[in-house]
Amino acid sequence: MLTNWINQINRYFLDTIAKRTHRRYRSSSQTLLPMSPALIDQLVRLDLASHAGFVGETWVLWGSPVDGTPTAINETDPGWQTMRSALEQNGRLNVALHEAELRLLADMRRQPICLIRGAETPS
Protein backbone atom coordinates (compact mmCIF):
# COMPACT_ATOMS: atom_id res chain seq x y z
CA MET A 1 0.00 0.00 0.00
CA LEU A 2 2.85 2.39 0.82
CA THR A 3 4.44 1.61 -2.56
CA ASN A 4 1.20 2.57 -4.36
CA TRP A 5 1.07 5.84 -2.44
CA ILE A 6 4.69 6.63 -3.35
CA ASN A 7 4.04 5.76 -7.01
CA GLN A 8 1.00 8.07 -7.06
CA ILE A 9 3.03 10.96 -5.65
CA ASN A 10 5.87 10.33 -8.09
CA ARG A 11 3.34 10.05 -10.98
CA TYR A 12 2.00 13.51 -10.06
CA PHE A 13 5.49 15.02 -10.19
CA LEU A 14 6.40 13.20 -13.42
CA ASP A 15 3.20 14.42 -15.07
CA THR A 16 4.08 17.97 -14.01
CA ILE A 17 7.57 17.63 -15.53
CA ALA A 18 6.08 16.19 -18.72
CA LYS A 19 3.81 19.22 -19.04
CA ARG A 20 6.75 21.61 -18.55
CA THR A 21 8.91 19.70 -21.01
CA HIS A 22 6.06 19.66 -23.50
CA ARG A 23 5.93 23.47 -23.43
CA ARG A 24 9.53 23.62 -24.67
CA TYR A 25 8.70 21.94 -27.95
CA ARG A 26 7.99 24.09 -31.00
CA SER A 27 4.28 23.34 -31.41
CA SER A 28 1.91 23.75 -28.50
CA SER A 29 -0.55 21.47 -30.29
CA GLN A 30 1.82 18.49 -30.02
CA THR A 31 1.06 15.84 -27.45
CA LEU A 32 3.48 13.76 -25.43
CA LEU A 33 3.43 10.25 -26.90
CA PRO A 34 4.02 7.25 -24.70
CA MET A 35 7.36 5.72 -25.67
CA SER A 36 7.23 2.20 -27.08
CA PRO A 37 9.63 -0.21 -28.79
CA ALA A 38 7.93 0.62 -32.12
CA LEU A 39 9.48 4.12 -31.94
CA ILE A 40 13.11 3.07 -31.40
CA ASP A 41 14.16 3.17 -35.06
CA GLN A 42 12.54 6.61 -35.46
CA LEU A 43 14.31 8.24 -32.49
CA VAL A 44 16.76 11.00 -33.33
CA ARG A 45 17.35 11.80 -29.66
CA LEU A 46 16.95 9.82 -26.46
CA ASP A 47 17.98 10.97 -22.99
CA LEU A 48 17.99 9.17 -19.66
CA ALA A 49 17.06 11.47 -16.81
CA SER A 50 16.56 11.03 -13.11
CA HIS A 51 13.57 12.66 -11.51
CA ALA A 52 13.79 13.23 -7.77
CA GLY A 53 10.25 12.53 -6.69
CA PHE A 54 8.71 13.16 -3.30
CA VAL A 55 10.23 9.86 -2.16
CA GLY A 56 13.26 8.49 -4.01
CA GLU A 57 14.19 8.89 -7.66
CA THR A 58 12.59 7.66 -10.86
CA TRP A 59 14.31 6.95 -14.18
CA VAL A 60 12.79 8.70 -17.18
CA LEU A 61 13.53 8.27 -20.89
CA TRP A 62 12.79 11.40 -22.97
CA GLY A 63 12.87 11.03 -26.72
CA SER A 64 12.24 12.78 -29.98
CA PRO A 65 11.35 10.84 -33.13
CA VAL A 66 12.03 12.20 -36.63
CA ASP A 67 8.73 14.12 -36.67
CA GLY A 68 9.70 16.04 -33.49
CA THR A 69 6.80 14.82 -31.37
CA PRO A 70 8.05 14.42 -27.78
CA THR A 71 7.85 10.94 -26.29
CA ALA A 72 8.61 9.67 -22.80
CA ILE A 73 8.38 6.71 -20.46
CA ASN A 74 9.38 6.31 -16.82
CA GLU A 75 10.14 3.30 -14.71
CA THR A 76 6.70 3.30 -13.07
CA ASP A 77 4.99 2.87 -16.46
CA PRO A 78 3.86 -0.68 -17.35
CA GLY A 79 5.96 -0.81 -20.55
CA TRP A 80 9.25 0.21 -18.88
CA GLN A 81 10.91 -3.23 -18.86
CA THR A 82 9.78 -3.98 -22.42
CA MET A 83 11.17 -0.65 -23.62
CA ARG A 84 14.40 -1.16 -21.73
CA SER A 85 14.91 -4.65 -23.22
CA ALA A 86 14.13 -3.38 -26.72
CA LEU A 87 16.66 -0.56 -26.39
CA GLU A 88 19.37 -2.89 -25.12
CA GLN A 89 18.79 -5.31 -28.01
CA ASN A 90 18.52 -2.61 -30.69
CA GLY A 91 22.19 -1.62 -30.71
CA ARG A 92 21.63 2.14 -31.24
CA LEU A 93 22.57 3.27 -27.73
CA ASN A 94 25.75 5.31 -27.27
CA VAL A 95 26.11 3.82 -23.79
CA ALA A 96 24.51 0.79 -22.09
CA LEU A 97 21.51 1.65 -19.93
CA HIS A 98 22.99 0.19 -16.74
CA GLU A 99 26.17 2.23 -17.30
CA ALA A 100 24.14 5.40 -17.99
CA GLU A 101 22.19 4.86 -14.76
CA LEU A 102 25.45 4.54 -12.79
CA ARG A 103 26.84 7.70 -14.41
CA LEU A 104 23.65 9.57 -13.59
CA LEU A 105 23.74 8.41 -9.97
CA ALA A 106 27.36 9.54 -9.70
CA ASP A 107 26.53 13.01 -11.09
CA MET A 108 25.59 15.26 -8.18
CA ARG A 109 23.75 17.63 -10.58
CA ARG A 110 21.84 14.72 -12.19
CA GLN A 111 22.29 16.04 -15.74
CA PRO A 112 20.45 13.88 -18.32
CA ILE A 113 22.60 11.49 -20.34
CA CYS A 114 22.17 11.34 -24.11
CA LEU A 115 21.71 7.72 -25.21
CA ILE A 116 20.92 8.34 -28.89
CA ARG A 117 21.84 11.44 -30.85
CA GLY A 118 21.14 11.79 -34.54
CA ALA A 119 20.08 14.48 -36.96
CA GLU A 120 17.99 16.38 -34.44
CA THR A 121 14.87 18.27 -35.37
CA PRO A 122 14.96 22.07 -35.10
CA SER A 123 13.37 23.52 -32.00
Domain annotation covers residue 28: yes
Domain annotation covers residue 123: no
Which residues form the domain of 78?
2-117
Other Cβ atoms closer than 10 A to 42:
14
Domain annotation covers residue 32: yes
* 53-110 tens-digit pLDDT: 656 678 999 999 998 889 999 988 999 999 999 999 999 999 999 999 999 989 888 8
Domain annotation covers residue 65: yes
Domain annotation covers residue 99: yes
Domain annotation covers residue 46: yes
How many structural domains is the chain composed of?
1
Cα 22 to its chain centre, rounded Å, is 13
Domain annotation covers residue 122: no
**In whole angstroms, what is the distance from residue 108 CA to residue 111 CA?**
8
Q: pTM, whole model, 2 decimals?
A: 0.70
* 1-10 tens-digit pLDDT: 666 666 666 6
**50: nearest Cα among 7, 108, 8, 118:** 108
Beta strands in 10-112 (DSSP E): 33-34, 43-52, 57-65, 71-74
3-state helix, strand, coil in the chain (%, to 5): 40, 25, 35
